[in-house]
Amino acid sequence: MTLEIAEFHSPIGTIVLAVRDGTLTALVFAEGWPDRRARLVKRFGDVDLRGAADPAGVSGRLAAYFAGDLGALDAIPVDPGGTPFQRRVWAALRTIPAGETVSYQTLARRIGAPTAVRAVGAANGDNPVGIVVPCHRVIGADGSLTGYAGGIERKRWLLAHERAGTLEQRSLL
């Protein structure tokens, strides 16, 4: 199996992404790539990693997102794998609009598992397609920024970027 791999240099660090048959299967900050690569091998078996400039247009969409087009990532097809529960959590994450946040508890309620707050947090932490599946939009019940695989400073930056963009878009209306 072939995975197209690209590096994208963002304002918050280098991102590595993997695309299989036109579908995004991984997006992580560079320091998380060795672990994510091992997980891809475990999931898909022997993989042939091939460098690509802009596999499935994902790099271009990331550039648009970081330039302020907050909807640029919405149509990217993803295949994160995972358990049925994880896939429910990850699908729910994609419904959280840019510029908004929800608590882990709210997310648990949205997927019909109100007592599974910790499991929702674990699924959020295992998200293999960061930013596109926007786990950074989930916060603590008290409004605090909790956990993010890329680090709290990156989470803070992403949320500020999205809030600034949505405020700018609203002022244009």
Active-site annotation holds for 120: no
Quote the pLDDT of residue 11. 97
**pLDDT one digit per residue (tens) for the chain, 173 residues:** 899 999 999 999 999 999 999 999 999 999 999 999 999 999 999 899 999 999 999 999 999 999 999 999 999 999 999 999 999 999 999 999 999 999 999 999 999 999 999 999 999 999 999 999 999 999 988 888 887 888 899 999 999 999 875 544 444 43
One-letter amino acid of 74: D
Q: Return the CATH number of the domain spanning residue range 2-66.
A: 3.30.160
Quote the pLDDT of residue 142. 85
- Of residues 17, 135, 138, 159, which has the active-site annotation? 135
Kindly list the domain boundaries of the chain, sorted by start residue: 2-66, 84-172
CATH topology for 84-172?
A: Arc Repressor Mutant, subunit A (1.10.10)
pTM of the model: 0.91
